Amino acid sequence: MTRTKRATSHKTPQAGKKRRPAKRGAPYHHGSLREAMLRAAESILEQDGIRGLTLRAAAREAGVSHAAPKNHFGDVKGLLSDLAAVGFARFRAVMEAHIRESDPAPTRLEAIGRGYVTFARTHPDLFLLMFRSERLDFTRPALQSAADAALDVLAGTVRAVRDEPMQATLTLPQAAQMVVAWSLVHGFTMLLLDNRLKQLIARFAGRGHVDLAWIGMGIRDKLGNGLGRE
């Protein structure tokens, strides 16, 4: 997926917030070190934000020596990249979970948008990491594969809306309309995560669900009815 840069993390340290005590324990002697490190990294990301996520901090959280993870990740960029790959796999699953294959293609496109917003609001720190290209190495096979698979969910649905067959590469009209769809849902999602729509949403009754309703209506009205063949 396109690597959207974020200048700063949206998470700021809270005053008086207690720091997590360092975990102590014997180093891992089995094959789950990589998985343990990824779980530890996600835990730190959720509590302390990306600034608090270092290779040493993740090793301490996982209860291993600070040198142990280097064989799996190399450096902190490798750790962040593999964590982002996990995020993209979940991201794809959430978007696909919102799709009903029996629905018409424009409705499936709307459902993808809802899944996009749902994932971002459920895992905001992981979502922001996934689009921090300056912190990630997209040459790593795991990350590139997971990001491409997530993009394919949107690509396949855009082709279906246009009533065009699947093929190895996108046509220019398909790519252009994917950019429009992606820009709509990603921009809306970032406004939500940055609380830029808070005052406007507060004016509506049933505002707890208005965010998902808006993205659905936006995709349907602006894209779903206008993605036919040109």
| Domain at 185, CATH number | 1.10.357.10
> Of 86, 107, 27, nearest to 60 (Cα)?
27
Per DSSP, the residues of 69-98 read THHHHSSHHHHHHHHHHHHHHHHHHHHHHT
pLDDT, tens digit only, all 230 positions of the chain: 544 444 444 444 444 444 554 444 444 444 588 999 999 999 999 999 999 999 999 999 999 888 888 888 999 999 999 999 999 999 999 999 989 888 888 888 888 888 998 999 999 999 999 998 899 999 999 999 999 999 999 888 888 887 777 676 778 888 888 888 888 889 888 988 998 877 776 776 555 555 555 555 555 555 544 444 44
Closest CA to 197 of 178, 182, 213, 181: 213
Closest to 47 (Cα-Cα) out of 67, 66, 61, 35: 61
The confidence score (pLDDT) of residue 28 equals 45
Q: Give pTM, 2 decimals.
A: 0.77
82 and 69 fall within a common domain: no
CATH of the domain at 48: 1.10.10.60
* Predicted pLDDT of residue 17: 45
Among the candidates 14, 38, 73, a domain finishes at 73
The reported pLDDT for the residue numbered 217 is: 56
- Number of structural domains (the chain) is 2
Task: Indicate whether 6 belongs to any domain.
Answer: no
- H or E element, residue 43: helix 33-48
pLDDT at 45: 96
Residue 109, φ and ψ in degrees, nearest 5: -65, -40
CA 162 from centre of chain: 26
**pLDDT of res. 161:** 80
Q: What is the pLDDT of residue 178?
A: 84
Structure tokens at 186: 């990603």
Decide if 129 contacts 1 (C-beta within 8 A): no
Quick one: pLDDT at residue 145? 97
Q: What residue numbers bound the domain in which 38 lies?
A: 23-73
Last residue of a domain, one of 58, 73, 88: 73
In terms of domains, do 164 and 202 share one?
A: yes
Instruction: Quote the longest CA-to-CA distance of the chain.
Output: 63
Query: Which residue bears the tokens 């790959």?
Result: 85
Q: How far apart are CA 19 and CA 195, in angstroms?
A: 26
Residue 11 domain-assigned? no
Task: Judge if 79 and 64 occupy the same domain.
Answer: no
Q: Is residue 69 part of a domain?
A: yes
Angle, nearest 10°, between helix axes 76-97 and 33-48? 80
Phi-psi bin for 78: left (phi > 0), alpha (psi -120 to 50), beta?
alpha
